[in-house]
Amino acid sequence: MATSRWAPGAQAPPVPLRRRGLVLERAILEAALEQLSTVGWGGLTMEGVAAGAQTGKAAVYRRWPSKEDLVADALEAGLPTLDEAADHGGIREDLYQLCRRVRDAMFSRSGIALRSVLHECDSASAERFHGVIVNRVVEPSNRLFREVVRRGVARGDVRADATCDLVFDVIPGLLMYRSKVCGSEWPDEDIAQMIDQVMVPLLRPATR
């Protein structure tokens, strides 16, 4: 008589769920982000993603022929959207709230996954994800910072000559340096300090 593969009372092996189309694709992308957030780029496997999504490996490979293709789509789908900068009535509050949104995006599960990819994968693979970070993080945040400063110029609480590239590089430069070199996760009080002690004095119109 053939013996059972698992004893009574033991946990039964997971049964793949019957899902198709966009529902299945979303589950696979979510599983890829989860793998990146927990085991990183080096530990992510197509088999592990399939297990996390409770589907077969073939279902993953039919849609994404490589690990790089899967991860690029997972990051693209998962990163928060930076599409507008609300007007809070003054440059200080506008910058503070925008910086918090950018911080939250970079420390979201998708942001952590993106950083793990860029830190771990080789230069050839990293190039595959360059467009994702530029199109979904760098360009949208830069556009919103410029919008906020120009709105401040029109409002009168920012000096007219403050719309140069060097000024717009200050916040991203500080965020990146303190995150990568100092290991800061940019709590709200540090963002407030950056705005109050660096950006507001830099942008404030000269007093007569």
Question: What local confidence, expressed as pLDDT, does residue 17 receive?
Answer: 54
Asked whether the CA dihedral 115, 116, 122, 128 is positive or negative, the reply is negative
Question: What local confidence, expressed as pLDDT, does residue 2 receive?
Answer: 44
Contacts of 164 (CB under 8 A, 6+ apart): none
- The model's confidence at residue 11, banded by pLDDT at 50, 70 and 90, is low
Copy the structure tokens of residue 144.
Answer: 């919103």
CA distance 106 to 103: 5
CA distance 105 to 136: 10
Q: Is the pLDDT of residue 1 over 60?
A: no
Domain ranges of the chain: 21-78, 91-203
Which residue type occupies 108? S
For the segment 36-53, the average pLDDT, to the nearest whole number, is 92
CA distance 184 to 195: 16
Buried b (16+ CB within 10 A) or exposed e, 38-74: eebbeebebebbbbbbbbeeebbeeebeebbebbbbb
CA distances from 63 to 12, 60, 124, 125, 128 (A): 28, 6, 22, 19, 17
For the segment 5-14, the average pLDDT, to the nearest whole number, is 48
Backbone angle region of 122, left / alpha / beta, with phi > 0 → left and psi within -120 to 50 → alpha: beta
pTM: 0.77
Q: What is the pLDDT of residues 162-176, one digit of tens each?
A: 988 999 999 989 988
- The model's confidence at residue 7, banded by pLDDT at 50, 70 and 90, is very low
More confident residue, 29 or 123: 29
3-state SS, residue 71: helix
CATH 1.10.357 at 91-203, yes or no: yes
Question: What local confidence, expressed as pLDDT, does residue 204 receive?
Answer: 93
Question: What local confidence, expressed as pLDDT, does residue 145 receive?
Answer: 94
CA distance 40 to 11: 28
Select from 1.10.10.60, 3.40.50.10420, 1.10.287.990, 3.40.462.10 the CATH code of 21-78.
1.10.10.60
Same fold, 21-78 and 91-203: no
Q: What is the mean pLDDT of the chain?
A: 86
